[in-house]
Amino acid sequence: MSLIVHKYGGTSMGSVERIQNVARRVAKWHAAGHQIVVVPSAMSGETNRLLGLAKEISAQPDGRELDMLAATGEQASSALLAMALMAQGVPARSYTGWQVPVTTDSAYTKARIKSIDDARIRTDLDLGRVVIVTGFQGIDEDGNITTLGRGGSDTSAVAVATAMKAHECLIYTDVDGVYTTDPRVVPEARRMSVVSFEEMLEMASLGSKVLQIRSVEFAGKYHVPVRVLSSLTDPLIPLEEEMVSGTLITFEEDQKMEAAVVSGIAFSRDEAKITLLAVPDKPGVAFSILGPVAAANIDVDMIVQNVSVEGTTDFSFTVNRNDFARTLDLLNSQVGPAVGAREIRSDEKVCKVSIVGIGMRSHVGVASLMFRTLSEEGINIQMISTSEIKTSVVLNDKYMELAVRALHKAFGLDQDPAEAAKA
């Protein structure tokens, strides 16, 4: 008998019928003798509806009250799931985050988990109940309800699995696993049966939306095996089939994983590039530019500083497209004049494409194949950034899909890894 944590997203909980399907799936695992803790999201669209009501009341709602409001979405779906399980003859009990309790810091709307008291959950599990714990929420040390930010139910589930020392954390979603790239862009994209935490972390940070990045960080830190699988399959699919479906995210690097030099292609359309021309090349210039940007709570991604020519250099960096206008205004009004930049140029029609793979550590020529592939397609690279297991490039966004398709083929990601290794 294993202790398994199930997490179901908003789509899986989107209607009474779907909640009943979730209950059938959970009942199947329970009947097989497993102890089950379920962490559900709010019903799809409910959190947006609640936050929309708040915005109608106030342009800038108080953070504490926002969390009070948003937490009701998960409370409703958890109670409904408990009712659905009991209607099927399965003993169940639901708890809010604060009843467990899941203790967090006091950063409203984006709180971080500090500890989870598992005593109450274990008591119920020992009595043969399925325990349902609201995702996305907790309580601070002053007794205020907090939420973990959008996508926080993933983090809740992994945190509960960590606290309970669960055998596995199953993240049920509307896709059937993690793919080599987005199948909507590359129809030949292949579902990976196994991916390392490091790779998943890079892919989540580079634009893959399968899992919230904080949940991946949490799982990697505490070595919790996580499996991403579909909630849209028949809920009564044989258990032995379901247990090996989807994608397992693991911290164990095995030989099969090493066979693939590049595991996946990640991309992001939401990029914008800014360049300061002819900046005086002197100590502290990078901080003079990026310090005020950071102080304005704007995340900078890629940074390139050119070689100094006659005492000046060009300095380029990228930001999220949502922050582009704010960043440009800050540079034009304050930073540019302060550092003595000759000109500020910008381009919000860029994208980022990245290759990711732990196999890159032990293989040479990976980046050069990437550059050659893009060159053969006539795609100009504007910026390059590398780490041990990824290489990212900034391109004109009209070439993004072409680049992703070409790289996917060049690295043999449309083939089975075993076949690709032979090739």
Give the DSSP per-residue string, 385-411: EEETTEEEEEEEGGGHHHHHHHHHHHT
Flag whether pLDDT at 201 surpasses 70: yes
Domain assignment of residue 23, yes or no: yes
Residue at token pair 């998943």: 200
Tens-digit pLDDT profile for residues 341-399: 999 999 999 999 999 988 887 778 899 999 999 999 999 999 998 888 899 999 999 99
C-alpha to C-alpha distance for 190 and 203, rounded to whole angstroms: 15
Query: Are residues 284 and 170 part of one domain?
Result: no
Flag whether pLDDT at 422 surpasses 70: no
Q: Which helix or strand (DSSP H or E) is residue 366 part of?
A: helix 366-376
pLDDT of res. 399: 95
Domain with residue 305: its CATH number is 3.30.2130.10
pTM listed for this prediction: 0.80
Which long-range CB contacts under 8 A does 296-302 form with residues at least 24 apart? 296/326, 296/327, 296/330, 298/323, 298/326, 298/327, 298/330, 299/323, 301/271, 301/352, 301/385, 302/352, 302/383, 302/385, 302/392, 302/394
Domain assignment of residue 34, yes or no: yes
Structural domains of the chain, count: 2
pLDDT > 70 in the chain, percent: 95
Query: Are residues 246 and 306 part of one domain?
Result: no
Domain with residue 37: its CATH number is 3.40.1160.10
Flag whether pLDDT at 289 surpasses 60: yes
Task: Give the confidence band of 254 by pLDDT, cuts at 50, 70, 90.
Answer: low
* Rg of the chain on CA atoms, in Å: 24
Domain assignment of residue 257, yes or no: no
> Where a domain ends, among 252, 281, 307?
252
Structural domain including 415 reads 264-422
Tens-digit pLDDT profile for residues 58-97: 988 999 999 999 999 999 999 999 999 999 999 999 999 9
Q: Supply the mean pLDDT for the chain.
A: 90
C-alpha to C-alpha distance for 126 and 378, rounded to whole angstroms: 63
